[in-house]
Amino acid sequence: MFKQEIDFLGKRKIALIFSSVLIICSIASLAISGLKLGIDFTGGTLVEVGYKQSADLSVLRKALSESGFSDATVQHFGTTKDVLIRIKPREGVSNSELSTQVLNAVNKDIAEPVDLRRVEFVGPQVGDELAEDGGLALLYSMFGILIYVAWRFEYKFSLGSVAALFHDVIITLGFFSILQMEFDLTVLAAVLAVIGYSLNDTIVVYDRIRENFRTLRKDSSEKIMNTSLNQTLSRTLMTSITTALVLIALAVLGGEIIHNFAIALLIGVGIGTYSSIYVASPIVLALGVTKEDLMLPVKEGEEIDGMP
């Protein structure tokens, strides 16, 4: 039997204040500064070039900045000899002219000219469609989760789980807004992955709460939920820590192309672990869940079937 007893729900008011501050700061930053959208959403030009030897990205960024492309995103693509350059759209400059200017800037201070591999243009209309589809994906996933948890457990649990997911998504987006880190399709994919991770963690806790409501009938709702959180704590911490170690390795060693993806997941895993304990469960308790809500229905004629 799990002996540790941490009074998680006794600290729910402190957690409420902490979460409220994070959400207010996130919403304020999103409203004032917004997200620093990448080329996937804003549109622009993508230029892939190949070097004869390994490319020094810091030197390349400096050369592009001196040529008026200070907002260019530069990253290795595949090998250290292949480089991907993303340029935001510019008024009055065609796609072909922009790629020529970028190529001239890259070749300006090097002995061997680079090879132009490909040039792709992402129009603003495509970027708008991607942003809209991404937002709809978030909403549809939330709605589907609401239905699933209401069917799997009880509607009070579904409200708690969706509230925790909104909590996680808003804070993750707020983090990117406050630090003005680039938000592209890989980060959006990370946010959707955070929803799945956080929901999985919450479902594990909810499942234990349901079991304990049916077995620990003499205890209060708060006591039963505290016991359930303590019983799942070791599993929650082990899952979160091992996941975080992998994500830290990806963020540090994975290169620029996957850096923001790993950071978004790392923030989401931390916030998701916190919300499964201090957001999802306290909301269910505040909604007044009772033992009767989770008791198995008595089958008609069950008493007769049990008679000798």
CA-angle at 99, arms to 98 and 101, nearest 5°: 65
pLDDT score of 171 = 93
Q: What are the domain boundaries of the chain?
A: 9-36+126-294, 44-122
Query: CA Rg, the chain, in Å?
Result: 25
Crossing angle for the helix pair 57-66 and 95-107, nearest 10 degrees?
A: 120
Residue 158 carries which side chain, given as an amino acid letter? S
* Mean of all residue pLDDT scores within the chain: 80
Give the H or E element holding residue 80: strand 79-87
Mean pLDDT of 182-193: 85
- What is the length of the chain? 308
pLDDT score of 298 = 46
- Rounded Cα distance, 271 and 195, in Å: 11
Per-range mean pLDDT, top range of 3-7, 10-14, 93-97, 135-139: 10-14
Under 8 Å between Cβ of 168 and 275: yes
Crossing angle for the helix pair 12-32 and 155-179, nearest 10 degrees?
A: 50
pLDDT score of 302 = 47
Of residues 20 and 149, more confidently modeled: 20
Q: If 0-12 CB within 10 Å is exposed, 13-18 middle and 19+ buried, where does residue 25 land?
A: middle
pLDDT score of 1 = 42
CA atoms within 13 A on the CB side of 279: 26
| Pairing state between β 79-87 and 182-183 | unpaired
- Rounded Cα distance, 251 and 245, in Å: 10
Q: Which CATH number fits domain 9-36+126-294: 3.40.50.720, 1.20.1640.10, 2.40.50.140, 1.10.3210.10?
A: 1.20.1640.10
pLDDT score of 274 = 92
Mean pLDDT of 209-235: 83
Of residues 272 and 143, more confidently modeled: 272
CA distances from 55 to 42, 201, 228 (A): 27, 42, 54
Please check the confidence at residue 174 and state whether its pLDDT lies above 80: yes
Of residues 78 and 177, more confidently modeled: 177
Q: What's the gap between Cα 7 and its chain centre?
A: 28
Mean pLDDT of 258-262: 87
pLDDT in tens, 53-105: 777 778 888 888 877 777 777 877 767 788 888 887 776 666 677 777 878 88
pLDDT score of 106 = 80
pLDDT in tens, 200-218: 888 888 888 888 887 876 7
> pTM, whole model, 2 decimals?
0.76
Mean pLDDT of 259-268: 91
Give residues with Cβ within 8 angstroms of 99, minimum separation 6.
Answer: 45, 47, 116, 119
pLDDT score of 293 = 57
pLDDT score of 295 = 58
Q: Which fold has domain 44-122?
A: Alpha-Beta Plaits (3.30.70)
